[in-house]
Structure 1
Amino acid sequence: MSTAEPAVRARPAEVLNVQGLRAVAVLLVMFMHLRDAERIYRPDPVLPVWADIGHAGVDLFFVISGFIMVLIGHAYPATARAAGRFLYHRWARIYPTYWVWFLISLAIYLTAPAWLRLAPGKITHLVESFFLIPTWTEPLVLVSWTLKYEIYFYLVFAAVILLPQRWRIPALLLWALYMLIGQQFCYSAPDVLCHKALFLTMHPLAFEFLFGAAIAWLYLRSPLRRPLPVLLLGLCLLIGGFLWFVLGGVSLNANSWNRVLLFGLPAAVMLYGAVELERARGPMTPRWLVAIGNASYSIYLSHFLVLLVLFKAFASQSLVPTPLMTGGILVVALGIGLLAHRWVEQPLLDLSRGRWRRATLATPKAAA
């Protein structure tokens, strides 16, 4: 790395408040999908309409992802090997665990598609679903649409890692400019002459990764003197976004900028306050919330499938009150996600990263 490049702070240890926010994000998404399943299978749903605020969990995930990627990747040397290591670690984080749930969903789809609320033949791009390639059809694992944005951001950030430190922020700004200009040609509707993959690269949701990257850039350079007001401001903005979404009838599908402004921007402010508050006062996130945050990826991938299957199996039990059934199914889905993290995700991650370490030890070190 050139001595002319600006000094950056060393990456800190795991920020537990981030794990707590990950837990909040996945619980919000579960809350929304629990209401969806309840409305499908029970004549007397109990969850309120404002459960749809669970959409904000996705935006919080995207902001956190941008923050984490810059936090772990800012000090990578500008080499192809470093970019390759970054991409391999991201592949290991995303694909092996996802493929487990893809294969489980595929087995159900081929044998009992009604359990997934899908008609036979509706999924026409199974190969694309398997590799998380953007298409206009729904993916087999319905929640996996967000992973396509994650992968896009990883590819962009890997390209940024190839640049010297002093060029990385300008490169991200150029990426933002590309997305802003590109939307004029490719974002208006899916029936324009634009491939889905190109459409995705210009989508407003990608700006939420940039929000997180900006928070990481601030975090790495100087501590925030008064983090609590910033955290409270972000929380107030997010609650205000919730109220506007619920009471104002704002459509997230009509214009994706709505969710970026209502949920993504407040999430970034809240994240900034949360990580700075931990730096100033130490960890304060309860252990149980950290545990859910650690398992949030497995919970996210598994929960909707588990909810649909359990409601399909037990919704006909009219003697069981809906509140009791809904609460019980939520607990079971959360438990399955935690177990999947412990016995599926973590072993796969250890295995794949162990292979990288062995390959690194067997290969002469590249010049930094």
Structure 2
Amino acid sequence: MPSLLHRLIHLPERARRVTGNQAYIPQLDGLRFFAIMPVLFWHASIRGYRSMLNLFGMPPMGEPTWLPHGEVGVDLFFVISGFVIARPFLAMIEQGRSLKVGRFYLRRLLRLQPPYLLVLVVCAASAAFGLAGGGHNPGREVHRMIDPWASFWASFFYVHVPVFGVPSLLDPPIWSLEIEVQFYLLSPLLIWLYARMTCREWRLAAGIWAVTVAMIAGAAIRAGMGVFAPWSFTLATHLDGFLLGVLLADMRQWRLRPRPGAGAWKDAGFLLGLFLLLASGLWELLGAFWPMLLRDALRLLACALIVDGALGGTRAGRLAGAPWIALIGSACYSIYLIHVPLMVIVWIALTRVMHIPALWIIPSAMALLPIISIAAGLVFYALVERPFMSADWPAKFMRAFAPRLNRSEFSS
């Protein structure tokens, strides 16, 4: 019988992402790891920061300004999404095959909706019974006027921000999933238009131009309407990241053979990209157009360096593809779905049973809550999300329940 140590060593290999017919690239999940970690530490710091304010008799509002904002991770997620979605579409176009758009939409729905729906139901039921909610954003006063089940249905159809003007009452971080869905709807058309240019040099120039225009438009919208305006939580202000992912996927397909000595340069670029990404998060709440545009350009450059380094670097590739880093990246969707409601509940319980000194309350939150979120997310991933990664799970589900249904009909 295998020992516990042996099982732990081989767990990442057995529990890794299900990719269907595509080859598994652990570095892509490693990139997701580097995207989820700033989000976890940011939201954990908010819990500790507001508890500290509460200890000093101050309103528990606001966010720490000395830590990179969690949105840096969300923006890296958007670049990864653009990259991952573009790869099969570009390959189909390159090979002269027709795009399976209907299959793409159905696959996204069957893959992402079941765990998403389960989390929404649990959060809506908790909010309806007056239990702790996950809200921590500036729309808190508006949230008090939104019925939990109205928030549920708006979130179910990924239209909470367009309908109510604020992120979801039930699970605030899912505003980014609404943006992902908006890109899913447009991505086949955008990638098809992009790939119609057969000259790769012109296509590269058009891709850079599109990313630049989208970046300028996003900064202009946020500067004109405000950082927390509804438009700031839509694809209109985040299209540049997705388009950069498409561009990087095309460049990766174009240059599959690495140049001699390029790995070391990509390793250095990877480290520089991580530094620039985190540094850009220290200026998240800028309101003026030009500083915001400079920050966004810096962040896109950082994301490009990180993706290129993880996929083409020597040491960066080994780091991103390390088994446990890749496994946590595989579970990033589960972690992202549950981490804020979980952090709220766990932190309320901890602060009620433990007296944490004010000096240690933020470090305690940042040390405990990300670890708890990752552990719970891995369990949720194994039990809930991963079974739905298989493309034929509906058929397996029907085969599993058909004998029971037949037996119940016969007995009746």
TM over 0.5: yes
Cα distance in 2, alignment partners of residues 52 and 262 from structure 1: 14
Equivalence for 2:236: 202
CA distance in 2, matches of 1:23, 1:181: 28
Measured in 2, the distance between the counterparts of 1:186 and 1:280 equals 35
In structure 2, distance between residues paired with 1:175 and 1:57: 22
TM-superposed deviation, 1:295? 0.2
Structure 2 letter corresponding to 1:107: A
Cross-structure match for 2:167: 138
Map 1:91-240 onto structure 2 (within 5 A). Answer: 91-112=109-130, 114-117=132-135, 120-122=144-146, 125-133=151-159, 134-135=161-162, 136-140=165-169, 141-160=171-190, 165-167=195-197, 179=214, 189-190=224-225, 200-203=234-237, 205-222=238-255, 223-225=257-259, 226-240=262-276
How far off its partner does 1:184 sit? Answer: 9.8
Q: Secondary structure at the match of 1:202?
A: helix
Whether the aligned pair in 2 keeps the contact of 1:83 and 1:159 (CA below 8 Å) is no
Measured at CA, do residues 189 and 281 of structure 1 come closer, stay the same or move farther in structure 2, by a change above 3 Å? closer
Q: Which residue matches 2:12? A: none
- Read off the aligned partner of 1:62 and give its amino acid letter: F
Distance (Å, rounded) in 1 between the aligned partners of 2:276 and 2:394: 47
* Distance in 1 between residues matched to 2:40 and 2:194, nearest whole Å: 41
**Counterpart in the other structure of 2:18:** none
Could you give the per-residue CA deviations for residues 175-222 of structure 1, whole angstroms, max 9, x where no partner exists? Answer: 65874796699665449xxx967983432x211111111111111111
Q: Which residue of 2 aligns with 1:29?
A: 39
- Give me the whole-angstrom Cα distance separating, in 2, the residues matched to 1:332 and 1:180: 35
Letter of the aligned partner of 1:159 in structure 2?
Answer: L
Give the gaps of 5 or more residues in structure 2.
1-20, 398-412
Which residue in the other structure is 1:52 paired with?
A: 68
How far did residue 356 of structure 1 move?
A: 8.1
Secondary structure in 2 matching 1:75: helix
Say which SS state the counterpart of residue 13 (structure 1) adopts: coil
User: 1:257 offset after TM fit, Å?
Assistant: 3.7
Contact 1:242–1:262, Cα closer than 8 Å, also in 2: no
Name the SS for the 2:67 alignment partner: helix
Q: Which residue is 1:61 aligned to?
A: 77
1-side partners of 2:319 and 2:166: how far apart?
43
Deviation at 1:116, TM superposition (A): 3.1
**2:23 matched to which residue of 1?**
13
Name the counterpart of 2:405: none
> What's the TM-score, normalizing by structure 2?
0.69
Q: Which is further off, 96-105 or 176-185?
A: 176-185
User: Residue type of the partner of 1:340?
Assistant: F
- The 3 A distance-change label for structure 1 pair 216 and 53 is same
Confirm or deny that 1:290 pairs with 2:330. no
Query: Which TM-score applies when normalising by structure 1?
Result: 0.77
1:266 aligns with 2:302: yes
Aligned residues: 341
2:104 paired residue number: 86
Counterpart CA distance in 2 for 1:58 and 1:305 is 18
SS at match of 1:132: coil
For 1:316, the equivalent position in structure 2 comes to: 352
Structure 1: tracts of 5 or more residues without a match = 1-10, 359-368
Task: Compute the displacement of 1:258 (Å).
Answer: 5.2
8 A contact 2:133–2:344 mirrored in 1: yes
Q: Which amino acid aligns with 1:121?
A: M
Instruction: Give, in angstroms, the shift of residue 262 of structure 1.
Output: 3.1
Deviation at 1:239, TM superposition (A): 1.4
Distance 1:228 1:87, change over 3 A: farther
CA apart distance, 1:96: 2.1
How far apart, CA to CA, are the structure 2 residues paired with 1:288 and 1:172? 34
Deviation at 1:241, TM superposition (A): 5.0
Q: Is the 8 A contact 2:158 2:178 kept in 1?
A: yes
Judge which range, 305-314 or 258-267, deviates more. Answer: 258-267
Which has the larger displacement, 232-241 or 73-82?
A: 73-82
- Secondary structure, aligned partner of 1:315: helix
Counterpart-to-counterpart distance in 2, 1:266 and 1:177:
15
Distance 1:187 1:240, change over 3 A: closer
Give the superposition deviation at 1:157: 1.6
1:283-362 mapped onto 2 (5 Å cutoff): 285-319=321-355, 322=361, 323=363, 326-350=366-390, 353-355=392-394
Q: What is the CA-CA distance between 1:113 and the residue it aligns to?
A: 5.4
- Give the Cα separation in 1 of the matches to 2:99 and 2:276: 45
2:313 match: secondary structure: helix
Q: Judging changes above 3 Å, is the alpha-carbon distance between structure 1 residues 109 and 160 closer, same or farther for their aligned structure 2 residues?
A: same
Bigger shift: 327-336 or 214-223? 327-336
User: Following the alignment from structure 1 to structure 2, what is the Cα–Cα distance between the partners of residues 299 and 267?
Assistant: 21
- CA RMSD in angstroms, aligned pairs only: 3.9
Cα distance, 1:271 vs structure 2: 0.7
Counterpart in the other structure of 1:277: 313
Alpha-carbon shift at residue 159 of structure 1 (Å): 2.0
